[in-house]
Structure 1
Amino acid sequence: MPASRLPLVVTADPRLLDDLLRLAAAGGTEVEVATDPVAARPRYSAASIVMIGADQLQPCLRAHLPRRRRVVVVGPHGMPPETWTHAQLLGAEHGAALPAAEPWVVDRFAAPRSDEPPGARVLAVIGGCGGAGASILATALAVTGVRCGRRALLVDADPLGGGLDLALGWEHEPGLRWSALAGADGPVDPPALMRALPSQGDLVLLSFTQDDALVQVPAEAMAAALDAARRGRDLVVVDLPRHLDDAAALALDAADQTLLVVPAEVRAAAAARRVRSMVGHHCDDQAAVVRGPAPGGLRPEDVAQAVGLPLAGALDPEPAMCAALERGEPPALNGKGRLAALCRDLIGAA
């Protein structure tokens, strides 16, 4: 079920919590409450506004919560000066010292939740086992999104994968890669980042160089990329590794839906069930895409049921697409075939 759009209060300070509940009531709204970033994470991205108590500022920084708009750090009068410095590192837009800021906080709680423009739709794609075809689906989703009028960002978050630049045929396309973003010093300007990445038309790619020494994406770099994408894209597709690092967990926390790609095989379904459990700690909305057919006659519905997920769709082998990939032609480029049709369904395009 979709995450709550209610305001989220993150604090373990009982006095501060009482104050914020009182101010929320004065603003005419109920709130969700989390005592720490672990409890906050599932509701963090969807909340209409997030009020973080000064007592939880450092824990939230250490937890690498995804950057988002409408975050306020709230604390008592006389907070130390470094509090605001840390709040900016978290991406907070405002700091509020009580009781002086009480009227302002009430106004923030009372603001209509529709005043925030919708951000980009984020789809995470992960293989239920090795060689499942997750990278092909992720690339096809981004390509199809652009064909359907979306401004898309394709994020390669698997440092040990073959590289989505190869799947697109963009290995020689100029622009920044993960290594440059990981080495950035200071805050990243979202529009500037989108302009600096490899792109063709409305499709932008964030990937690795073919000789990249990175063994994992820094969580701060992923947070900056997701923040930029929310502000400047309509669709974000993230190709994830099966062994989750902090950056992959951040992407899952931000995802509207995770698509688990599973070959129609008994052992693949067993492996995918374990991946599904791991992903479930970060993203509630999961669905299976089954790749077949299976020699033993397993139906896509059987595989999805074995994994414990609803079936989002099924894919048959497309020999012509495999040959095109070897020539550096992206999957679903011409908008024809079952893969392209499935991608249109998954991104909600007619």
Structure 2
Amino acid sequence: MSLDPSVPPPPGTAPRPLIVTGDPLLLEDLLRLAAAAGSEPEVAVDVGAAVASWRSAPLVLVGADRVAEAARRELPRRPGVVVAGFDPVDPGVWRPALALRAEQVALLPDGESWLTDRLADAIDGPQAAGRVVCVLGGRGGAGASTLAAALAVTAASRHVRTALVDGDPLGGGLDLLLGEEQAEGLRWPDLAATRCRVTATALSRAVPRFGPLSLISWDRGRVLHVPPEVLSATLTGARRGHDLVVVDLPRRHPDPTVEAALAAGGPVLVVVPADVRSVAAAGRVVATLADQPNDRWLVVRGPSPSDLAPEVIANTLGIPLLGAVRPEPRRAARQDWGEPPGIGRRSPLAGLCGRFLDSLALGVAA
């Protein structure tokens, strides 16, 4: 697989919500919330101008100043109608809102957060959430980032829409591991600065993308923290826009990245080198997952003839063995040349990733 940043995202435009209001102050606020949700809505100043798009818009926001007019017009019944106004609202708004079968009367400013989320949901559409796979090192330098990148690259080579999420701000950046540190697109510090809901469409367009693979990476800057709400929203957007989301988890605990990723309920691959000290460290890491319902699988790096057997490590840690990956002597040199891990049919790492993806029924081998 070649990581080609010139490959554009799939064609298509995001659906446009419809705003129906003649109140300039309300319109200004609704446009601001739509922008935060990543949408440029259609605007109708009266109900007559809204008729053409009434059925097709994914969401209709009817201003409190136009709700009585909309009810009188006896417009076709449809889901996804929200009445918006300022608090306090005229009590006369509620009866026509019921006549329109509005799902909510959203009063600003208290209802801003809910309304932004509702706009984002309308833009993303009824997409199923993708599978989440977490990769965690049993100790520092175990090779978790390499496995996470290889799993994402292998999935993308099977034409699976994949997001690779860098969860470790101290890891140097997965874009560097993929040999794509110069690729254009937003990194975590840029996403942290937005502090708004991240839709699947907006996320796909904003981050570095290589065919079916999207990358959400740290950079080499000084910012090492993402607000939990931005982190959670970004992971949600990644799931809604991809079939598979691979998260390279940090080892520190507790951590908002770990909590948000594990909340998706997907499996956790724990990478452990086949030596005694690494197994001892991995025991403490595995213990932090004891209260989590996620399935856990062991990936052993090695072993050499003098190392512990993979089955012994699995029994010691109490988690099932997914597989062992023998060392690739030229892997470090190829990585320095910018070759992503998991490239090549003869790569043991690619083989392990392929078998795991088969177990998830994700994609077919190219």
TM-score (norm 2): 0.63
Matches within 5 A, 1:38-117: 84-85=111-112, 87=114
CA contact (8 A) 1:253 1:283 kept: no
CA contact (8 A) 2:196 2:230 kept: no
- Aligned residue for 1:254? 264
CA contact (8 A) 1:273 1:308 kept: no
Q: Structure 1 pair 79/280, CA: closer, same or farther in 2 (3 Å)?
A: farther
- Aligned residue for 2:334? 324
Q: Which has the larger radius of gyration?
A: 2
Aligned residue among 173, 197, 200 for 1:190: 200
Are 1:134 and 2:154 an aligned pair? no
TM superposition shift of 1:283:
4.3
SS at match of 1:192: helix
Q: Structure 1 pair 262/144, CA: closer, same or farther in 2 (3 Å)?
A: same
- Aligned residue for 1:236? 245
Aligned residue among 163, 179, 195 for 2:189: 179
Instruction: Give the AA of the match of 2:259.
Output: A
Distance (Å, rounded) in 1 between the aligned partners of 2:226 and 2:233: 12
Aligned residue among 239, 262, 281 for 2:291: 281
Instruction: Give the AA of the match of 1:156.
Output: D
Distance (Å, rounded) in 2 between the aligned partners of 1:142 and 1:236: 8
CA contact (8 A) 1:269 1:303 kept: yes
Distance (Å, rounded) in 2 between the aligned partners of 1:341 and 1:168: 18
Instruction: Give the AA of the match of 2:172.
Output: G
Deviation by residue 1:287-334 (Cα, 9 ceiling, x = unmatched): 110111145341111111111100011111001222211111101122
Structure 2 gap ranges (5+) = 1-104
Distance (Å, rounded) in 2 between the aligned partners of 1:234 and 1:282: 23
Deviation by residue 1:32-79 (Cα, 9 ceiling, x = unmatched): xxxxxxxxxxxxxxxxxxxxxxxxxxxxxxxxxxxxxxxxxxxxxx99
Matches within 5 A, 1:263-282: 263-282=273-292
Q: Structure 1 pair 90/251, CA: closer, same or farther in 2 (3 Å)?
A: farther
Instruction: Give the AA of the match of 1:254.
Output: A
- Aligned residue for 1:222? 231
- Aligned residue for 1:39? none
TM superposition shift of 1:92:
11
Alpha-carbon RMSD: 2.6
Q: Structure 1 pair 144/208, CA: closer, same or farther in 2 (3 Å)?
A: same
Instruction: Give the AA of the match of 2:223.
Output: L
TM superposition shift of 1:80:
9.7
Structure 1 gap ranges (5+) = 1-77, 95-115
Are 1:302 and 2:318 an aligned pair? no
TM superposition shift of 1:226:
1.4
Aligned residues: 252
CA contact (8 A) 1:249 1:282 kept: no
TM-score (norm 1): 0.66
Instruction: Give the AA of the match of 2:196.
Output: G
